[in-house]
Structure 1
């Protein structure tokens, strides 16, 4: 059976270099193609515009700047993501608490499970969307 994460392009948004390197290693072990890491909101927003992505792991606090604008851009581009945070998930801003969040430090199995969940949800949502070929167009 094919690993569902193998070959997926995953954006890493993390400002702590050691954490970013460990996350890259975990994603490599899962067979993912790592994009980044982006260490700032601006860098992450640029990467979202420039590269096709299939998911992202998004640190909530990037050197004191909250990463919610990055989450919004990912949502706008239909890219599923998982928050990564040292905070309790109930400390996320109100509108973002419904998104999956990994509590640092986390194990590779927790990362795999979270990414598989968000990717499966995105695939399921895309499968339910009407295709342009089957949508009626008024003349």
Structure 2
């Protein structure tokens, strides 16, 4: 911390209504200031205040990507189980049935991969704007 923080011995008391305090607190939370006191000092002495803004469209894209990631992990797990069963079996009829399951899982996997590509494309387009 700065050395002048240690020399702060004077206090100022300000009374605020609930609405005023809520406004002050919400503005403070959107900055990089560590405390309300620091935020108020920056305001009083016209120091620069760095604010944090969030892009809700990016948040939505991240949530969607997280969902698709979980689905891809589940499909990958099913896919691995099928491959293990095919490798472990020696009967032709059972292999034929497993290959049909394998084909269904492959189609599902590729459709989800296409969804991920589309979401990434949308995210890239938003990023480039």
Q: Which has the larger radius of gyration?
A: 2
Q: With structure 1 as the length reference, what TM-score do the two structures score?
A: 0.24
Higher strand proportion = 1
Higher helix proportion = 2
Q: With structure 2 as the length reference, what TM-score do the two structures score?
A: 0.26
